[in-house]
């Protein structure tokens, strides 16, 4: 990462406390409770509970967890390799309440043999939830690999599935 200034805000959520990190231009990361900066290789940010991008992100995440929001319009400041950026952008095309397998994602990116590389890129996704790596599952539909832990992946998928399932009266 470069030497730009980073700012953070910690917020409660149904998946534990999460740390929102932004630069002046966009959201840089969402870190899980207890997670250090090693996975995302970020510099240590300074606390700014009133940073406009962080406040907007907090509001949109609250709406998401209340089932009132299905898409986000937060400016993102993703940094990664060209392949990682392609994978993360492809995640943004997986609709709310739906999943894709690692193989389907690799095929969409033009190389079915890139399944492991896709998994590696997902592991480095700095903006969980908003860049929805939780919507990627194993070939059998089994929950595998998630930086926030499989319990949290399950919570996020259950939340989205609950909303998208037809209501029975």
In 52-129 the beta strands, taken as DSSP E runs, fall at: 100-101
Q: Buried b vs exposed e over 68-86: b needs ≥16 C-beta within 10 Å?
A: eeeebebebbbbbeeebeb
The answer to whether residues 138 and 18 touch, using CB atoms and an 8 Å cutoff, is no
Active-site residue, selected from the candidate residues 90, 133, 147, 155: 133
Number of Cβ within 10 Å of residue 89's Cβ equals 13
User: Is 133 among the residues known to form the active site?
Assistant: yes
Residues in the chain, total: 169
Q: Phi, psi (5° rounding) for residue 155?
A: -60, -45
* Strand ranges in 1-156 using DSSP code E only, listed in sequence order: 7-11, 18-22, 27-32, 46-47, 100-101, 136-137
Catalytic annotation, residues: 133
């Amino acid at each position: 990462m470069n030497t730009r200034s980073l700012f953070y805000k910690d917020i409660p959520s149904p998946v534990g406390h999460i740390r929102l990190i932004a630069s002046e231009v966009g959201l840089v990361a969402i870190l899980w409770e207890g997670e250090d900066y090693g996975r995302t290789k970020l510099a240590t940010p300074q606390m700014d509970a009133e940073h406009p991008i962080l406040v907007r992100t907090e509001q949109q995440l609250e709406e998401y967890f209340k089932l009132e929001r299905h898409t986000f319009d937060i400016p993102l400041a993703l940094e990664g390799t060209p392949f990682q950026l392609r994978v993360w952008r492809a995640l943004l095309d997986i609709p709310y309440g739906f999943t894709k397998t690692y193989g389907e994602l690799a095929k969409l990116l033009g190389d079915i043999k890139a399944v492991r590389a896709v998994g590696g890129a997902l592991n480095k996704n700095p903006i969980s939830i908003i860049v929805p790596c939780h919507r990627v599952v194993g070939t059998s539909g089994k929950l595998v690999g998630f930086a926030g832990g499989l319990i949290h992946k399950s919570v996020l998928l259950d939340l989205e599935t609950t909303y998208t399932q037809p209501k029975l009266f």
